[in-house]
């Protein structure tokens, strides 16, 4: 509807332009046709109009104007031009203001303006559940660029999103956590802003939610906030994050997607220590129950979880403070690696997943090598 009105107003502009030309050279229109031959009304929409509702399929307003002129009936446009010549200056100005208003409304809003609209909806207590969810999804997309993520706090959006973590609806809470996680990805500035709001403890608690989706999105946010961020990692351990991870890893009844994310977070935390050898390793990594829980995951029937567990073990073995004898005596890592080898050998028969199985086997071989070296050195 808006595009149709806009085209009509643009045709008015075209007619006005034609009128101006006619006024300066009345012979021009009488000697030759100004425009192309008349076309059917159905041709008044651009070929790709159905694919681009927001801008009508035109790269610019100028191209839209040229298109409108070239697809108009020259006689009707001439008649329209003549009628517009009869308008008084005030009437003509009014028409021009109408065009300007419509064109302003059709301009693409900036990311900041879109964020402000979404934030306003979140701050409005009367916003419906559906609109609140929509606002969060819009922010989820908008905060992906680093600059936009950092602008979220400046616009008051960080506070608005964190308030949604307390919403009665688990879907809203999950989406709010998702937004925080997306904005925190490789973004120390945003990670620090969230840290100052004291949100990490709330997210850790949400991981234990009875809602699987809420737990997954909360753990995603926790992982993003702690990645390569020592201050957030220290807070994570202080708030019982390590125990939360351990509970997820050792409980086979917990949703598999949550367990995969938990192993990934554990690997991230261990890899941070490996990349920062000058930092003291937290006692968390020496928790024998934790280490055994990770090794036990190699017996999972889920190949993806098996692979992630092997990658985690590879990182844990390389830490200075972990003990080879704990992996040998308590975790029975040697036996676990042999069982995994047999299982992977059986899976090789399936051509559809053979390449993936071979990749997992290569990780297993690497873990076995690191394990034997650690045994020899301790």
Q: What is the CATH number of the domain that holds 310?
A: 1.25.10
283 with 374, same domain: the answer is: yes
Average pLDDT in the 177-205 region? Answer: 94
Domain final position from 80, 105, 130: 105
Q: Is 85 exposed, middle or buried (0-12, 13-18, 19+ CB in 10 A)?
A: middle
Task: State residue 350's pLDDT score.
Answer: 86
Report the residue count for the chain: 378
């100052």: which residue's tokens?
Answer: 196
Task: State residue 45's pLDDT score.
Answer: 40
259 with 368, same domain: the answer is: yes
User: For residues 184 and 186, what is the distance between their CA atoms, to the nearest angstrom?
Assistant: 6
Task: Kindly indicate the confidence band of residue 225, based on its pLDDT and cuts at 50, 70 and 90.
Answer: very high
- What does each C-alpha distance from 199 to 163, 169, 244 come to in angstroms? 10, 18, 16
Across 6-20, 64-78, 170-184, 189-203, least confident range = 6-20
Task: State residue 279's pLDDT score.
Answer: 87
Domain final position from 48, 83, 105: 105
Q: Is the predicted pLDDT of residue 52 greater than 50, yes or no?
A: no
User: For residues 333 and 329, what is the distance between their CA atoms, to the nearest angstrom?
Assistant: 8
User: For residues 271 and 260, what is the distance between their CA atoms, to the nearest angstrom?
Assistant: 16
* Dihedral sign (CA 169, 170, 175, 178): positive
231 with 150, same domain: the answer is: yes
189 with 265, same domain: the answer is: no
Task: Kindly indicate the confidence band of residue 72, based on its pLDDT and cuts at 50, 70 and 90.
Answer: low
369 with 251, same domain: the answer is: yes
256 with 339, same domain: the answer is: yes
Contacts of 269 (CB under 8 A, 6+ apart): 226, 233, 284
Q: What is the pLDDT of residues 130-155, one digit of tens each?
A: 999 999 999 999 999 999 999 999 99
User: For residues 136 and 122, what is the distance between their CA atoms, to the nearest angstrom?
Assistant: 8
Q: Is the predicted pLDDT of residue 42 greater than 90, yes or no?
A: no
283 with 253, same domain: the answer is: yes
27 with 126, same domain: the answer is: no
Please give the tally of structural domains in the chain.
3
306 with 345, same domain: the answer is: yes
Across 7-21, 96-110, 338-352, least confident range = 7-21
234 with 246, same domain: the answer is: no
Task: Kindly indicate the confidence band of residue 90, based on its pLDDT and cuts at 50, 70 and 90.
Answer: confident
The phi, psi pair for 82, rounded to 5°, reads -65, -40
CATH number for the domain harbouring residue 176: 1.25.10.10
Q: Is the predicted pLDDT of residue 217 greater than 80, yes or no?
A: yes
End-to-end C-alpha distance for the chain, whole angstroms: 76
Q: Is the predicted pLDDT of residue 299 greater than 50, yes or no?
A: yes
The token pair that represents 55 in the structure block? 């801008």
Task: State residue 35's pLDDT score.
Answer: 36
pLDDT above 90 as % of the chain: 65
Across 205-214, 237-246, 345-354, least confident range = 345-354
Task: State residue 5's pLDDT score.
Answer: 45
- What does each C-alpha distance from 98 to 118, 186, 296, 301 come to in angstroms? 28, 46, 71, 66
Average pLDDT in the 195-215 region? Answer: 94
How far is C-alpha 251 from the chain's CA centre? 29
Q: Is the predicted pLDDT of residue 176 greater than 90, yes or no?
A: yes
Opening angle at CA 210, ends 221 and 158, nearest 5: 30
Task: State residue 337's pLDDT score.
Answer: 96
Q: Is the predicted pLDDT of residue 125 greater than 70, yes or no?
A: yes
User: For residues 134 and 120, what is the distance between their CA atoms, to the nearest angstrom?
Assistant: 12
DSSP state of 254: S
User: For residues 42 and 164, what is the distance between their CA atoms, to the nearest angstrom?
Assistant: 47
262 with 279, same domain: the answer is: yes
Task: State residue 206's pLDDT score.
Answer: 96
The token pair that represents 86 in the structure block? 């009869």
């009345």: which residue's tokens?
Answer: 26
Three-state SS sequence of 199-212: CHHHHHHHHCCCCH
The parent domain of residue 305 ranges over 240-378
Average pLDDT in the 27-44 region? Answer: 38
Q: What is the pLDDT of residues 249-275, one digit of tens each?
A: 999 999 999 999 999 999 999 999 999
| Average pLDDT of the chain, as a whole number | 82
Task: State residue 94's pLDDT score.
Answer: 77
Domain final position from 105, 129, 148: 105
Q: Is the predicted pLDDT of residue 67 greater than 60, yes or no?
A: no
**Among candidates 306, 217, 205, which has minimal Cα distance to 247?**
205
Q: What is the pLDDT of residues 314-354, one digit of tens each?
A: 999 999 999 999 999 999 999 999 999 999 999 988 888 99
Q: Is the predicted pLDDT of residue 28 greater than 90, yes or no?
A: no
Task: Kindly indicate the confidence band of residue 70, based on its pLDDT and cuts at 50, 70 and 90.
Answer: low
207 with 288, same domain: the answer is: no
- What does each C-alpha distance from 280 to 113, 120, 147, 275, 319 come to in angstroms? 45, 44, 33, 12, 11
Opening angle at CA 87, ends 82 and 89, nearest 5: 130
Q: Is the predicted pLDDT of residue 278 greater than 50, yes or no?
A: yes
Task: Kindly indicate the confidence band of residue 89, based on its pLDDT and cuts at 50, 70 and 90.
Answer: confident
- What does each C-alpha distance from 329 to 29, 82, 127, 333, 353 come to in angstroms? 98, 97, 58, 8, 33
């Amino acid at each position: 509807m808006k595009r149709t009105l806009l085209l009509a107003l643009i045709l008015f502009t075209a007619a006005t332009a034609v009128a101006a030309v006619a006024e300066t050279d009345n012979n021009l229109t009488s000697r030759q046709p100004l425009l192309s031959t008349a076309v059917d009304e159905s041709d008044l929409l651009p070929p790709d109009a159905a694919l681009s509702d927001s801008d009508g399929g035109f790269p610019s307003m100028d191209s839209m104007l040229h298109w409108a002129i070239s697809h108009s009936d020259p006689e009707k446009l001439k008649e329209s031009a003549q009628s517009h010549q009869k308008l008084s200056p005030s009437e003509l100005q009014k028409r021009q203001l109408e065009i300007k208003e419509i064109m302003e409304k059709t301009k693409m809003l900036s990311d900041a303006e879109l964020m402000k609209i979404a934030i306003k909806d979140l701050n409005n207590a009367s916003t419906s559940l559906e609109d609140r969810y929509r606002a969060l999804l819009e922010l989820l997309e908008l905060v992906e660029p680093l600059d936009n993520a950092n602008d979220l706090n400046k616009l008051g959006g960080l506070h608005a999103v964190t308030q949604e973590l307390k919403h009665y609806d688990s879907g809203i809470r999950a989406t709010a956590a998702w937004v925080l996680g997306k904005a925190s990805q490789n973004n120390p500035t945003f990670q620090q802003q969230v840290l100052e709001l004291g949100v990490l403890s709330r997210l850790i608690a949400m991981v234990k939610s009875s809602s699987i989706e809420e737990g997954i999105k909360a753990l995603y946010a926790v992982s993003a906030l702690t990645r390569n961020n020592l201050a957030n990692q220290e807070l994570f351990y202080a708030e019982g994050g390590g125990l939360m991870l351990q509970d997820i890893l050792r409980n086979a009844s917990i949703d598999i997607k949550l367990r995969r994310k938990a192993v990934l977070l554990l690997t991230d935390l261990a890899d941070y220590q490996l990349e920062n050898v000058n930092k003291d390793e937290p006692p968390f990594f020496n928790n024998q129950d934790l280490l055994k829980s990770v090794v036990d995951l190699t017996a999972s029937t889920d190949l993806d979880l098996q692979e992630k567990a092997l990658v985690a073990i590879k990182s844990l073995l390389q830490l200075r403070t972990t003990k080879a004898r704990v992996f040998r005596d308590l975790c029975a890592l040697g036996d676990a690696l042999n069982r995994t080898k047999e299982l992977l050998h059986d899976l090789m028969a399936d051509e559809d997943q053979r390449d993936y199985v071979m990749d997992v086997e290569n990780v297993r071989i690497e873990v076995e090598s690191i394990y034997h070296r650690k045994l020899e050195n301790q």
